[in-house]
Structures are given as structure tokens and as C-alpha cells.
């Protein structure tokens, strides 16, 4: 489930914790890792059969799951296509918290992550006058991801999986065009993607067909964006390689607030309706897709931080609710999840996630506890400042 981006919601998100900045490369990347650890299994037990005379002995080998840390980060989650991810994505987008310290970005350091006292991965952040390199790697180096920025722009991504290597390069034509070119050393295929901007507003996304020719540009899909006089997104259309529109999405506003999104695809229509509280913060989102309705309800504390999120699905015998707790520095310290049965509307505790921090605000540990008090996962982080050689 990684990278977790809820496209239609993130366009109109709000900052309730320590807000993310596009230039905070490590902060954004580390936050994604933490959320991936919260919402995914971190280990898997692999059964092993040992054959002996007149008997078969079964045992298990515990193996960490690490693929979530090394994706190219290009997967976009659409609420209409992935309704089962709505709750998780709403938590991520609404909290918008920082799990790092405020001054760490300009330093050279290594963060080591451990699970059951075994190293899970390490992250190396290296900065120079106009460049930044972020590397995440398994302890043995067989799997790794390297991200390079120059002058604040993403320049290159290298993803290594044993003998397989993905090379992703970004080139810029002024402030109007970004071209992404990917090459896989095993498949020997090039993959191209292009974004076009005008006055810092995205105008189109062009997806090209994969090819073994590095110069080939055969359009696969084209997404166009349209705005009103106030630069608010009004409509986006998706066309195939025959320039035929295959779906479109329209956005509706009232007093500068987004109140509705309608997506038309083939013979179906999906929609999202927004409601706001007196402070213009979204308090309810109703998603209508595939003949069903899903409601997301948000409650805020006196500091405009999300206090709870509840999701109700039409036809379900229960719904889910999550409460959030913060320290005096507005750092997230706990998430508690509950199940609410429709018949009695009582809260039944399911699990909680506990976060502890170092003195400088860097996340020190993540712990998950189930309804019986058992620790189901625990990740410990260690921070080491290093010299830039």
C-alpha cells in the first residue's frame, strides 16, 4: 500500500500537526515509512518441513517484509477504486504529522531501524551545498533505494533488488515540463511519463507505452486539467491513445470550499460530498461508489487537530473509529482503534499504536498493542550523526 496518496482528498488537505514541506525530503520520506509500518504486517512466518525417518517435523522461519520501503513511490490510490483503503488514507492525509525533528534535514546522519533487536533497514541522509542524497538499504545491501535531489529538484532514483535495477531519471524544461524516464535492467524496457505546467499549475499528464527504444514516445494515456479564473481545479479528463475521453472528473465549490467531486467513467458515476464545521474544516466526507455509500466523520480538538476519525460503510454490521493523542509539542503519541457494532453502538477496543520520541523530536519507537495487551509489532530507531566524506 505504499505510496499512500489519496488523490482527490490530498488536493484539499489541511495541516493539523507539524506541516510537511515539499523541501523536507527526509521528513516526507520517513513519514511514509512510518505509516507503512503502522498499516502493514512487518514480518511473515514461512513454514519449513523437515523430513526425518518415520516423521515430518514442521517449523517456521520468521522473515521481515521489506518491499514496502523500496517502491518507486508512483502508485496513486483512487478512493473509488480502493474503498478498503479509505480509512487508512484519511488518517494519513488528515493527520499530516511529522515523525522527525525540525532541524535534522540539513544534517548528515544515519537512521537505523530494528525489529526484535535485528536491523530491519538503515537510512542515510547526505547533504551538500546544493544537493541531497537519501539512501535506504537492507542490512546486507541486496535491496536498496537511492534518491538524489539537486537544487531542490528530484533528479534520480535507483532501486536495486539483488541483480535487478530500476533507473529513474528526471529532466526539466524550465518550470513547464517534467519528464520521467525509467529503465529496468532485467526487462530492458524504458518507461516514460511527462507532466506539463503553466503558472505552476499542472496542465497535463502524459503516459507513454513501454518500449526498448529510449527515444520512443507513443502515447498510452493523457490526463488534462482545467481551472477557473481563481486557479481552482474544475475538471480533469482522461483520454486514450485515440484521443477519446474515457473518463472525467468535475469539482464543485461553495465560498472557496470544495463541496463535491463527481467522476464519470463508462456508464457509472461516482461522487464525493464534503461538509465543513464552523472553522471550515472538513467534518464529513461521503463517498458514493459501486452502488454503496461510505461516510467518513472527523472531529477536532481546540487546537484544530484531528481528534477522531470514524468510517461507516453502507450495509456493514459494524464501523470503525480511531482516536488520536498528542503531546505538548503536537507530536502524535498514540492512535487507538475501535470497532462499533451497529446493533448496540458500543465501542470495542481493537488495538493501539504508541509513539515515543527522542529529545530532539525524532521518532524513537513505534509499538502496536492488541486488545489483549500483546505487543504485535515494535520498531526501534537509532539516530547517528556522521560527517560528509
The Cα–Cα gap between 102 and 124 comes to 17
pLDDT, tens digit, 9 for 90 and up, residues 323-379:
999 999 899 999 999 999 988 889 999 999 999 999 989 999 999 999 999 999 999
The Cα–Cα gap between 321 and 352 comes to 12
The Cα–Cα gap between 51 and 60 comes to 14
pLDDT, tens digit, 9 for 90 and up, residues 230-263:
999 999 999 999 999 999 999 999 989 999 999 9
**342: alpha, beta or left? (left if phi > 0; alpha if psi -120 to 50):** alpha
pTM of the model: 0.83
Mean pLDDT over 105-120 rounds to: 89
Sorting pLDDT into bands at 50, 70 and 90, what band is 79?
low
Q: 86-95 and 25-39 helices cross at what angle (nearest 10)?
A: 150
Q: Is 47 exposed, middle or buried (0-12, 13-18, 19+ CB in 10 A)?
A: exposed
Cβ neighbours of residue 174 closer than 8 Å, sequence gap 6 or more: none
> How far from each other are the two terminal CA atoms of the chain, in whole angstroms?
35
Amino acid at each position: 500500500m505504499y505510496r499512500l496518496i489519496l488523490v482527490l482528498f490530498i488536493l484539499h488537505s489541511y495541516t493539523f500537526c507539524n506541516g510537511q514541506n515539499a523541501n523536507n525530503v527526509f521528513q516526507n520520506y520517513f513519514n511514509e515509512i512510518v505509516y507503512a509500518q503502522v498499516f502493514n504486517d512487518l514480518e511473515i512466518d514461512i513454514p519449513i518441513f523437515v523430513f526425518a525417518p518415520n516423521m515430518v517435523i514442521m517449523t517456521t522461519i520468521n522473515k521481515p517484509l521489506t518491499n514496502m520501503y523500496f517502491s518507486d513511490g508512483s502508485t496513486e490510490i483512487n478512493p473509488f477504486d480502493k474503498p478498503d483503503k479509505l480509512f487508512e488514507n484519511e488518517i494519513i492525509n488528515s493527520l499530516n504529522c511529522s515523525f522527525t525533528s525540525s532541524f535534522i534535514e540539513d544534517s548528515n546522519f544515519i537512521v537505523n531501524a530494528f525489529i526484535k533487536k535485528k536491523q530491519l533497514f538503515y537510512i542515510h541522509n547526505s547533504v551538500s551545498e546544493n544537493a541531497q542524497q537519501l539512501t535506504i538499504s537492507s542490512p546486507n545491501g541486496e535491496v536498496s533505494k537511492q534518491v538524489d535531489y539537486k537544487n531542490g529538484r528530484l533528479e534520480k532514483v535507483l532501486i536495486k533488488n539483488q541483480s535487478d535495477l530500476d533507473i529513474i531519471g528526471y529532466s526539466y524544461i524550465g518550470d513547464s515540463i517534467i519528464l520521467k524516464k525509467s529503465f529496468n535492467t532485467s526487462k530492458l524496457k524504458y518507461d516514460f511519463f511527462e507532466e506539463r505546467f503553466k503558472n505552476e499549475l499542472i496542465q497535463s499528464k502524459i503516459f507513454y507505452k513501454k518500449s526498448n527504444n529510449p527515444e520512443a514516445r507513443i502515447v498510452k494515456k493523457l490526463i488534462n486539467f482545467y481551472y477557473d479564473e481563481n486557479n481552482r481545479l474544475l475538471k480533469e479528463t482522461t483520454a486514450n491513445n485515440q484521443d477519446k475521453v474515457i473518463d472525467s472528473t468535475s469539482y464543485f465549490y461553495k465560498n472557496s470550499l470544495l463541496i463535491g467531486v463527481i467522476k464519470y467513467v463508462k456508464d457509472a458515476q461516482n461522487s464525493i460530498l464534503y461538509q465543513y464545521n464552523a472553522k471550515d474544516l472538513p467534518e464529513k466526507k461521503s463517498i458514493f461508489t459501486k452502488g454503496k455509500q461510505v461516510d467518513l466523520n472527523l472531529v477536532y480538538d481546540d487546537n484544530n487537530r484531528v481528534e477522531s476519525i470514524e468510517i461507516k460503510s453502507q450495509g456493514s454490521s459494524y464501523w470503525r473509529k480511531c482516536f488520536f493523542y498528542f503531546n505538548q509539542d503536537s507530536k502524535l503519541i498514540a492512535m487507538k482503534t475501535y470497532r462499533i457494532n451497529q446493533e448496540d453502538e458500543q465501542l470495542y477496543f481493537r488495538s493501539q499504536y504508541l509513539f515515543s520520541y527522542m529529545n530532539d523530536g525524532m521518532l524513537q519507537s513505534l509499538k502496536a498493542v492488541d486488545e489483549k495487551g500483546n505487543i504485535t509489532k515494535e520498531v526501534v530507531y537509532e539516530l547517528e550523526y556522521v560527517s560528509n566524506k
